[in-house]
Structure 1
């Protein structure tokens, strides 16, 4: 199992099946826990923290080497995979769930 620090490369290998997977990935990284098919661990380093994001069915993990990199990834995810306003993916997720119930 390898590690990559490239968001785009890692995300291109992960199957994001709809809004729920996107939110689960965001939630996992934000709270360093298991959420859906994602698991994020947090390690203490001399300079702060680093994070390792794993996805079911994916051999490589995403290595986020600092809090700054973690927030950059969350912003990248929000910008490229959602239509969330500002940085509020929680509101975006609730809106998508509510819209799905109206059909």
Structure 2
């Protein structure tokens, strides 16, 4: 198991194939739990918290060394993998689910 702190490197190794995958990743990081193919653990450090994000089928884990880094990753995910505007990913996901039911 290797750890990386580079968002793009880690994301290039996983397949975010659908909006559900994007939401599962966000949900895992936000709630420190298993969601879909992702699992995030939260560890206490001397300076606060750090997070380790695992994806099924990927040996490397994403290491988020602080809350600031966690929020930067969530912003990166929102900006590059959703069409969410100022709203959060929860609102985006609910909107996509509602639109999917109407189609």
TM over 0.5: yes
Question: Under a length normalisation based on structure 1, what TM-score does the superposition of the two structures give?
Answer: 0.97
Q: Distance in 2 between matches of 1:43 and 1:51?
A: 6
The 5 A counterparts of 1:20-31 are 20-31=20-31
**Number of aligned positions between the proteins:** 103
Decide whether aligned partners of structure 1 residues 87 and 95 sit closer, same or farther in structure 2, where only a CA change above 3 A counts.
closer
Structure 1 residue runs without a partner (length 5+): none
> Which segments of structure 1 move beyond 2 Å, counting only runs of 4 or more?
none
The 5 A counterparts of 1:61-76 are 61-76=61-76
Q: Distance in 2 between matches of 1:99 and 1:74?
A: 23
Instruction: Tell whether the 8 Å contact from 1:78 to 1:87 is kept in structure 2 after alignment.
Output: no
Q: Distance in 2 between matches of 1:86 and 1:30?
A: 17
Q: Distance in 2 between matches of 1:7 and 1:92?
A: 21
Q: 1:64-89 deviations in whole A, cap 9, x for unaligned?
A: 00000000000000000001121411
Structure 2 residue runs without a partner (length 5+): none
Q: Distance in 2 between matches of 1:93 and 1:87?
A: 10
Counterpart position of 1:6: 6
Indicate the RMSD between aligned Cα atoms, in angstroms.
0.7
Instruction: Tell whether the 8 Å contact from 1:43 to 1:50 is kept in structure 2 after alignment.
Output: yes
Counterpart position of 2:88: 88
